[in-house]
């Protein structure tokens, strides 16, 4: 699963890089199919940026919750170790 996730992250990063290059460096074409491609890639980039921001916030919240759970586990283990020493 980790390998698949890393591959998907790489593909997503490559797609975002292509979209950024096409949208920001080449500029918006005046008309034609290039304009449609530009708008689609720009939309994908905007959605990807939003998803990345929300994902980072969710991950930080998850890490904080996990940290509290681990702190509680350590407290319980230390309390049980004190009982065993007596």
pLDDT at 25: 64
| In the predicted structure, residue 67 carries a pLDDT above the cut 80 | yes
**Chain centre distance of CA 73:** 28
3-class SS letters over 14-51:
HHHHHHHHHHHHCCCCCCCHHHHHHHHHHHHHHHHHHH
Instruction: Tell me how crowded residue 48 is: count the other CB atoms within 10 A of its CB.
Output: 16
Mean pLDDT of the chain: 77
d(CA 86, CA 77): 15
**Chain centre distance of CA 50:** 10
- pLDDT tens across 5-27, in order? 777 777 777 777 777 776 666 66
pLDDT at 29: 66
């Amino acid at each position: 699963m980790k390998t698949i996730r890393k591959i998907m992250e790489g593909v997503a990063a490559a797609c975002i890089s292509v979209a950024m290059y096409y949208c920001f460096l080449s500029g918006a074409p005046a008309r034609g199919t290039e304009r449609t491609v530009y708008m689609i890639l720009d939309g994908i980039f905007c959605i990807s940026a939003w998803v990345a921001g929300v994902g980072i916030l969710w991950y930080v919240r998850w890490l904080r919750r996990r940290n509290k759970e681990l702190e509680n586990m350590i407290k319980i283990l230390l309390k049980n170790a004190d009982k065993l020493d007596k």
